[in-house]
């Protein structure tokens, strides 16, 4: 049996043909396929607007910029996430404030967030970055109420959860990133994610002004001729001052932006993969159901992702005794399980700001026990069974002693 990773991309002949068609076209970057991918992704999520960028980290970076973050601004996020969720704040000179997770959901605990904002003067915190960790959606309706009360924005990190949803107070499914509660949401198209572009990211919103700002920020802060109306500019060809028409070559840099553009051939791959995104979700949820049934009531299980309505299952996490020994044993069997994540506040970079062990007890306890099992749509039944049986074998033989 081949090695079984925790995640794996699935590139089909249709994907390859879609990329080849763009490679044979006239436009390799910022061509028509980008806009088509953005429009189809916005429709899939249920948002009004989508902006494609070079990766999920770029999406986070220009999102906080568009939301107006300034040096010294405080933003709350979870320690159980890939560090980019916090780093985007530091890129802009802001201060990251971590709040602990709910040990039952592994998500940012809204009660801990409420404690932070209620114990400080109004305006102390500018925003919240909840992370849909492992594919489980945050209840953004409750976060929105808190954010509105304290004049904060919400940036939803949905990199793990395209196609995921939570159920609101009216019993309606609210898709991750649909813009009904978060000001902005970000997605990643890293190879192990639901939709793979090699690298790539997307930002969704229902706010037209934020949408326009994001388009500027991803491309050097430049606004092209068809996006602006000139005022009081004399053209080299002797044009009149005042409001005027302007030549097709005109563009202007309105603020400091970045080159965070996606290529057309990456967008073609993403668009092709988006066409079968729901099929992948069905398979991920079936795998989760198998894991749940296999590990339910097992004495070595301290916790597991379980089967939760709306979960997108980027990861399937179990909490176990003797995690390190299990991790190493699985690798001897070519099962490449992974750990998600070392708590961000315990990274050396963030410890320099005063964060230390003991600050986030639920996150730290989770980290000591967690392990992410293989989870991807092309995982074969015999591979899935092998993973489950190998884990049970490890504990039944007391190899951890």
Q: Where are the domains of the chain?
A: 4-221+255-274, 277-396
Whole-number Å distance between alpha carbons of 122 and 155: 19
pLDDT, tens digit (0-9, with 9 covering 90-100), for 199-226: 999 999 999 999 999 999 999 998 864 4
Helix (H) or strand (E) holding 319: strand 316-320
- Binning pLDDT at 50, 70 and 90, where does residue 53 land? very high
What is the side-by-side order of every strand in the sheet holding 316-320? 301-304, 316-320, 370-373
pLDDT at site 230: 41
Are 254 and 222 in contact by the 8 Å Cβ rule? The answer is yes
277-396: in CATH 3.30.300.30: no
Q: Quick one: 158 exposed, middle or buried, by C-beta within 10 A (0-12, 13-18, 19+)?
A: buried
pLDDT of 238 higher than 90: no
Nearest to 143 by CA among 77, 67, 196, 80: 77
Tokens of 246: 């302007």
The alpha-carbon radius of gyration of the chain (Å, integer) is: 23
Closest CA to 136 of 310, 280, 303: 310
Mean pLDDT along residues 161-166: 98
Mean pLDDT calculated for residue range 290-294: 98
* 137 touches 310 (CB < 8 A): yes
Q: What are phi and psi of 319, to 5 degrees?
A: -110, 130
As a whole number, mean pLDDT of residues 142-168 equals 98
Kindly tell me if the per-residue pLDDT of 144 is higher than 70: yes
Q: State mean pLDDT over 110-129.
A: 98
Closest C-alpha among 154, 178, 176, 181 to residue 165: 176
Give the N- to C-terminal CA distance of the chain in Å, as an integer: 27
Instruction: Lowest mean pLDDT of 48-52, 207-211, 229-233, 344-348, name the range.
Output: 229-233
pLDDT of residue 235: 44
Rounded CA-CA distance 68/89 in Å is 11
Q: Please choose, from the candidates 63, 172, 36, the residue with its C-alpha nearest in 3D space to the C-alpha of residue 128.
A: 63
Fold of domain 4-221+255-274: 3.40.640
Q: Dmax of the chain from CA atoms?
A: 86
Task: Evaluate if residue 244 carries a pLDDT over 60.
Answer: no
Report the percent of the chain where pLDDT is more than 90.
89
Q: What is the pTM of this model?
A: 0.94
Residue 293, CB-side half-sphere exposure with 13 Å CA sphere = 8
At residue 298, does pLDDT exceed 80?
yes
pLDDT in tens, 343-400: 999 999 999 999 999 999 999 999 999 999 999 999 999 999 999 999 999 999 865 4
CA distance 243 to 281: 52
SS3 8: coil
Between 235 and 92, whose confidence is greater? 92
pLDDT beyond 70 at 227:
no
- In this structure, what DSSP letter does residue 102 have? P
Lowest mean pLDDT among 87-96, 191-200, 216-225: 216-225
CA 158 to the chain's CA centroid: 4
Mean pLDDT, the chain, rounded, equals 93
């Amino acid at each position: 049996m081949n090695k079984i990773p925790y995640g794996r991309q699935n590139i089909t002949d249709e994907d390859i043909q879609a990329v080849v068609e763009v490679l044979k076209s006239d436009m390799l970057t910022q061509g028509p396929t980008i806009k088509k991918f953005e429009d189809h992704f916005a429709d899939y999520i249920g948002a009004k607007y989508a902006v494609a960028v070079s990766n999920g980290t770029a999406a986070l970076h220009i999102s906080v910029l568009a939301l107006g973050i300034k040096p010294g601004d405080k933003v709350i996020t979870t320690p159980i996430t890939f560090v980019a969720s916090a780093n985007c704040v530091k890129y802009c000179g802001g201060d990251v404030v971590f709040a602990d997770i709910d040990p039952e959901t592994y998500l940012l605990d809204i009660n801990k967030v409420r404690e932070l904002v209620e114990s400080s003067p109004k305006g102390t915190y500018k925003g919240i970055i909840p992370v849909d960790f492992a594919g489980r959606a945050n209840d953004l309706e409750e976060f929105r109420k808190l954010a509105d009360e304290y004049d904060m924005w919400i940036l939803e990190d949905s990199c793990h959860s395209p196609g995921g949803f939570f159920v609101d107070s009216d019993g309606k499914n609210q898709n991750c990133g649909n813009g009904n509660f978060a000001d902005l949401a970000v997605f990643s198209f890293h190879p192990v994610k639901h939709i793979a572009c090699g690298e790539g990211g997307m930002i969704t919103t229902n706010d037209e002004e934020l949408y326009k700002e994001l388009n500027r920020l991803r491309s050097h802060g430049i606004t092209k001729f068809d996006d602006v109306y000139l005022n009081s500019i004399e053209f080299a060809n002797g044009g009149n001052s005042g409001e005027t028409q302007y030549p097709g070559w005109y563009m202007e840099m309105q603020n400091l932006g970045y080159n965070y553009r996606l290529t057309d051939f990456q967008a073609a791959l993403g668009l092709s993969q988006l066409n079968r995104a729901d099929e992948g979700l069905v398979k991920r949820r079936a795998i989760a159901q198998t894991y749940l049934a296999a590990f339910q009531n097992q004495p070595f299980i301290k916790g597991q992702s379980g089967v939760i309505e709306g979960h997108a299952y980027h990861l399937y996490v179990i909490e176990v005794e003797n995690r390190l020994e299990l991790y190493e044993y699985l690798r001897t069997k070519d099962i490449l399980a992974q750990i998600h994540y070392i708590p961000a506040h315990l990274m050396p970079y963030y410890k320099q700001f005063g964060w230390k062990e003991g600050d986030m007890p639920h996150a730290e306890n989770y980290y000591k026990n967690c392990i992410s099992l293989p989870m991807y749509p092309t995982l074969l039944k015999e591979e899935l069974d092998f993973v489950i049986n190998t884990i049970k074998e490890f504990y039944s033989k007391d190899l951890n002693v």
